[in-house]
Chains A and B, each alone.
Chain A
């Protein structure tokens, strides 16, 4: 079965690239036949030939062979197989917009293959390179995903990253948005009904004016109606006009109120759904999206949808009803004059559309120039000290002025176009008016004609009404684009499925004892590059474990797996002997405390921040937690004590103070497992001692996992695990590892000691 994500990636390749969405079945069969039916594990496209021309070449990797399939202009394929055993090394040479991968055999021999590709293919080719390199090193990798999936995912990764959402049928997006109106059917009907009423009523005054002229004023002037009869009917007409205006004002009020409230309600529902859904999504989702992009979906996109629902939809429907209504009234009043006015309508709509497109293009150019102006501002204002220090004020003034003039030129160009367009439209309307007069007047003056002066006046009044709906319809495409784009950005988040899902009847460990077992755990964020490679260990309750190793070795990933921020790609993680995937994740995480290198504190009081981990904690527990965390003293020294409001992200506190509050927060629920990820690495020595004292108090009676750069801080660890390249390469107590000659830990420890001796007086 094809997964939805893969289907989307295939769609993206088809829509946006010139390359195949997957390897053709015949090619695949042909390669596998060459390999005695051994399956293709990964494939990619090498899209540059030796002459650096774009081409199509498939590169497929199997268990023992790499195949390079060249496709000539006639579509004929030639396959070249290279046994992986012959490859001794790979050399990757990155260029400006390309990479050359050279497969080398024995030293001095000609290369086994030279594969060239553009940046678009880089990720898929890197997957292949990664697997080959691991095989050269003698490691094998379990590959969970299908080669088609990995290929399409790799090729589209940059598009998916740049494009928050996947382009689909815009109308489908609108219908999906319309579904959000369902709970508010009554309000919607009320608003739409008022809008229809408003539109129809708007047509009445012109009609009444014509009626007044033809049936009252003219008969009175010709003497066929007496003054009293004329006035009697006139009062009715005036009454009807007043009533029309009243109904119009009332329905306008109802329409505006109903639809703006409706828009707010729908936007609120979308925001709520979006935020609630985001809370359930896995960390993978958040690491793949920019924070600003996610925030704008909740704020500005939902706001834009409110505007669309409250005004956009209504205006378009109003414009359509108005045009149909006007056309019907005009043709029914006098079909000849009616046609003069209605036939040019498509031409008007087209001219608005063309003008809109032209303006969009001009605005695009102007916005580009405008961004050059803001670029200078964002460069120089934060860097004003540098500007002044190098005495470059005049240069910056010139840079700004040049761009400022350039942007004004563009906007003047825009003004030149639209200021011409509107008079031209008005001129066209005037021409129509003249035409109406030319055709109408002889018929009005001709006594035998059916065209009355009242009908003629009504026509003139209707003419003033039909320009606005035409303009609205002309702008519809742009409005629809903006709204569907916003709706789609929201729906994309709503359609993302959480990766961590609890089973139907999850197990609750009450309480967690703290035994943590890794059984052959492997993990890759992207399905290919394994960060954790076949790791096994068994930690007993109450042990303190130190993870040591270079940056990028996989230490933090291990702790992320312990709290199930991610699921292991293969192998099992057991908590007190129970597979972590069978646990109630929320309940389990409640019994785990985490202290991170950069503690995130929320806007609010210190009390609220400490209580964040246990909102119902009593005040004694809060103070006790703060005391244990060595935070109580500095908190009480503040004028507002625990009620001190800390700024956004706790920036009014020093790093060490924030860290101690985060420790108090972590220990308040009395967690059975404590994770300390570089908890003391970003603070000064004095603060570190205080934090270390606090941590020493905390570790008693809990299973603790600590990651620390300063190895001396892990002296109290029961065991140390040295992690290198995703594997446990050494383990033992501090003393055992120190005494291990040629050991990594020993080397690291000695290096730190030397650094300490050299720089600390």
Chain B
């Protein structure tokens, strides 16, 4: 139990580094940046999800320009409404991935696999290495990483059309 207690303290301490969840204020300012702080002593921050796939709404880390953690939000509901909306807005950009809705073709070429897909964000062609397989995500769904590092998410294969499922059969499941 000692270990568990220490863990809780560490999280709390980090939160208290600048401010606690209760007093933390986060806002999107005119300069387009997200600012976090307490009593007007604010810092420009960027948001990072600590568990982007398994617990996307918990443990949001706010980091300054030097990537030093300014605050750790254990859950978004701890924030006041304005702050929460600001953080949620920032999380949309920070957690952006392209969501595949249809696979048009998958072809093998020299050492790479060439995909043509329709995503929720628009049409896209991308390439993966021949021995790179999709990652099964802890919260469900599959994630493909292309050679540039772009991420493509498939939520539920069974909701996709038959042709797409046929294309994906060798890669998923």
Q: A-side interface residues toward B, CB under 8 Å? A: 16-18, 48, 52-55, 91, 93, 95-98, 100, 102, 104, 107-111, 114, 116, 118-120, 122, 158-159, 161-167, 361-362, 364-365, 368, 371, 485, 488-489
Contact = CB atoms under 8 A, between A and B. Distances in A.
A119 B52 CA distance: 18
A365 B169 contact: yes
Contacts of B66: none
A371 B129 CA distance: 14
Given A102-B32, A159-B147, A368-B133, A53 B111 contact: no
B31 A18 contact: no
B170 interface: yes
B170 A368 contact: yes
B2 to A, nearest CB: 18
Contacts of A163: 109-112, 127, 147
Contact of B111 (A97, A98, A107, A485): A485
B149 A158 contact: yes
B110 to A, nearest CB: 5
B110 A91 contact: no
Contacts of A17: 125
Interface in B82-115: 92-98, 109-112, 114
8 contacts: A16-B127, A48-B121, A110-B30, A118-B150, A119-B146, A162-B147, A163-B109, A485-B110
Nearest to A293: B111
Contacts of B92: 52
Q: Is the interface of A mostly helix, strand, loop or mixed?
A: mixed
B122 A53 contact: yes
A152 to B, nearest CB: 14
Given A18-B125, A96-B97, A165-B111, A102 B133 contact: no
Given A96-B95, A159-B127, A52 B121 contact: yes
A362 B170 contact: yes
Contacts of A158: 146-149
Contacts of A485: 110-111
Contact of B151 (A91, A96, A362): A96
A642 to B, nearest CB: 45
B131 interface: yes
Given A95-B93, A97-B98, A54 B31 contact: no
B65 to A, nearest CB: 8
Contacts of A53: 121-122
Contact of A52 (B46, B96, B109, B148): B96
Of residues B32, B33, B125, which shows the largest number of chain A Cβ atoms within 10 Å of its Cβ?
A: B32
Contact of B96 (A95, A111, A120, A161): A95
Of residues B97, B98, B129, B170, which shows the largest number of chain A Cβ atoms within 10 Å of its Cβ?
A: B170
A406 to B, nearest CB: 10
A91 B65 CA distance: 8
A102 B28 CA distance: 13
A122 B111 CA distance: 23
Contacts of A122: 148-149
Nearest to A110: B30
Nearest to A98: B96
Contact of B32 (A110, A165, A167, A364): A110
Given A98-B93, A118-B148, 18 more contacts: A48-B121, A54-B121, A54-B124, A93-B46, A95-B94, A95-B96, A97-B151, A108-B29, A109-B30, A118-B150, A119-B146, A119-B150, A122-B149, A158-B149, A163-B127, A165-B110, A361-B170, A364-B171
Contacts of A95: 93-96
B101 to A, nearest CB: 13
B151 to A, nearest CB: 4
A97 B148 CA distance: 9
Given A93-B93, A167-B110, A111 B32 contact: yes
B162 interface: no
A163 B130 CA distance: 10
Given A91-B33, A95-B94, A368-B133, A18 B124 contact: yes
A489 B130 CA distance: 15
Contacts of B121: 48, 52-54
Interface in B26-66: 29-33, 44, 46, 52, 65
A158 B132 CA distance: 14
B119 interface: yes
